[in-house]
Amino acid sequence: MINGQVDIAVHSMKDVPTALPIGIVQAAVLERANTLDILVHKGNLDFLKGNGTIATGSLRRQAQWLHKYPNHKVVDLRGNVNTRMQKLNESDWNGAVFAAAGLERINLKPTDFIDLDWMIPAPAQGAMLVVAMENDAFCKEAIGKLNHRETEICTQIEREFLKTLEGGCTAPIGALARINNNEIHLVGNLFSIDGKEKIEIERTISLDNWTNFGKECANEILEKGGATLMKSIKESLKK
């Protein structure tokens, strides 16, 4: 885009850095799809009551899974969706965690899955972001017509929460904001990588007061021990 080769770019919003490159701006946030994480398994869920092995490349999913299932083992899983599905099928793992929206968009959602409605998703999970050049008035106006205001507000709150905690894609941070009538409800959390420590906040405010809501909630997490936990997470990721 900066070289002038393309006019716009479309991204999965949860993978976009909270600070965009200079000269590139958010043109539209598309209406959000499914926010859930799902467990794709192999037809037998008995392992949930005992020992099991789950695959994911996400520290957030790993931490939340180990918090709920401390006896389980979590193994790393990388690659595109097709590659990860193939690795799961060829492995002796019990299951793997995926974003529901990613599988639904490319019609790869299998029949053997369960919704992980207890797992707080990544900030902006399920949303698509369209960016344009800051000086491109035509593209900004055209793409702006696709903007979904409710999704824009919710994802901005979640990404502000993430940015304030100083977590990139690697930190075990979850956040989900929802608008109901004239209120916004936010659940946000921070975990240790091993899932043993959890700091969570759940708050509801008036839709009129949503500015800085994500930042305020993140600061509360930091004050409740999050600052120390973030420091230990960063130190462990350097090793």
Residues annotated as catalytic are 15
DSSP letter (8 states) at residue 122: P
Identify the residue whose tokens are 């997490």.
221
Q: What angle do CA 107, 6, 8 make, to 5 degrees?
A: 60
The SS3 of residue 45 is coil
Within 10 angstroms of residue 73's Cβ, the number of other Cβ atoms is 13
**Using CA atoms, how far apart are residues 237 and 239, in angstroms rounded to an integer?**
5
**Using CA atoms, how far apart are residues 63 and 42, in angstroms rounded to an integer?**
22
DSSP letter (8 states) at residue 195: S
